[in-house]
Amino acid sequence: MLKILITYAVQGEFVEIKWPDIEPYYVRTGIGKVKSAFHLAEAIRQVQPDLVLNIGSAGTVNHQVGDIFVCRKFVDRDMQKMKEFGLECEIDSSALLEEKGYCTHWTEHGICNTGDGFLTELTHVSGDVVDMEAYAQAFVCRSKEIPFISVKYVTDIIGQNSVKHWEDKLADARQGLSHYFNVLKERI
């Protein structure tokens, strides 16, 4: 039985995954990199999963509400400014996923840009989607040599929507992610 630790930031993003031959464990991490990293590290210590799957909502600049992205590459937008000083701000989790043979048939590729602020104004953002947790989780998983993947449902267009729009779209995200995992993808 494959142990999968499924992370989500807020209750409105919770999706039950019903795949055969897996043992799912769920952890609500809270919003933001620090809370997310802490709660994930504690859950990893307790569960010792084979894979961590982050699911949730995200904003975008160049795509549509309702799009779903499977992210294996992550950018820390708060640390991007420090890149010239040699500080790391990007993680690619592809190699460990491929080595273990996980999620190889999930073809919806994307780059997730993570930061501690909820973006409401259009700024230069690298990546396909923006969130507030995935980079931190990718960092924790890489340090513990656990495969990590993040699946994001676009709930808002940066510069066009507010925090209220995001809250209103959480039910759509939950429904879209449930369909993605339990209809389109019936296995890891």
Rounded mean pLDDT, 162-186: 85
d(CA 110, CA 68): 9
Average pLDDT for the chain: 90
Give, as one character, the DSSP assignment of residue 50. Answer: S
Which amino acid, residue 37?
A
The proportion of the chain whose per-residue pLDDT surpasses 70, expressed as a percent, equals 92
- What is the extent of the structural domain holding 128? 1-182
CATH number of the domain that 88 lies in? 3.40.50.1580
The model's confidence at residue 126, banded by pLDDT at 50, 70 and 90, is confident
Among 99, 72, 105, 70, CA closest to 186 = 105
C-alpha–C-alpha distance, residues 56 and 26, integer Å: 13
Residue 136 has pLDDT above 70, yes or no: yes
Specify if 47 maps to a domain.
Answer: yes
Residue 46 belongs to a domain = yes
Closest CA to 77 of 56, 54, 59: 59
Predicted confidence (pLDDT) per residue in 152-161, tens digit: 999 988 877 6
d(CA 158, CA 182): 29
Statement: residue 14 has pLDDT above 90: yes
Our count of domains for the chain comes to 1
Residues 172 and 155: their CA atoms lie apart, in Å, by 8
- Quote the pLDDT of residue 88: 75
Chain mean position to CA 123: 21
pLDDT digits (tens, 9 = 90+) for 58-82: 998 888 999 999 999 999 987 777 6
Residue 163 lies in a domain: yes
